[in-house]
Amino acid sequence: MKTKLILLIGLFIFAGCASNGGERKPSKPRNFISYDEIQTIAGATTAQDVVELARPFWLRGKGIDPQVYMNNIQMGSVETLGNVSVHSIQEIRYMSPSEATTMFGTNNMGGVISIKSR
């Protein structure tokens, strides 16, 4: 009886540790959109489309909107994302307010959406 109980407990432990068999997809980086990911976003024609579809939480600030930089040059507020063609983008990165302040100075309290062109 004890042997059966031990085997049964072992079976439950083994079954609980087993994988469901599905493949795991790598998670997307929270603060980065790569060229490859941009290519997979259907219907995106501007940087604004890419951000709205892939990382909409970048646009939901805490009262202060992020600034937009392209190739480390300030472009303006988030509305300027609509002026950047998806075909010219290599990558898009979000920088927190502390990272943005370190990189670009104190006028970036809402963070920065940084675009690197191809």
Threshold 0.85, pTM exceeds: no
Asked if residues 31 and 99 have their Cβ atoms less than 8 Å apart, the reply is no
* Domain-located, residue 106: yes
What CATH number does residue 95 fall under?
Answer: 2.170.130.10
- Containing structural domain, residue 87: 29-117
Number of domains observed in the structure of the chain: 1
Distance of CA 50 to the CA centre of its chain: 11
Asked if residues 92 and 81 have their Cβ atoms less than 8 Å apart, the reply is no
Distance of CA 118 to the CA centre of its chain: 19
pLDDT band at 14 (very low <50, low <70, confident <90, very high): low
Average pLDDT value for residue range 12-32: 68
Q: pLDDT tens across 43-85, in order?
A: 999 999 999 999 999 998 678 899 999 999 999 999 999 999 9
- What are the structure tokens assigned to 117, written together? 């062109």
* Domain-located, residue 19: no
**Which is higher by pLDDT, 15 or 13?**
13
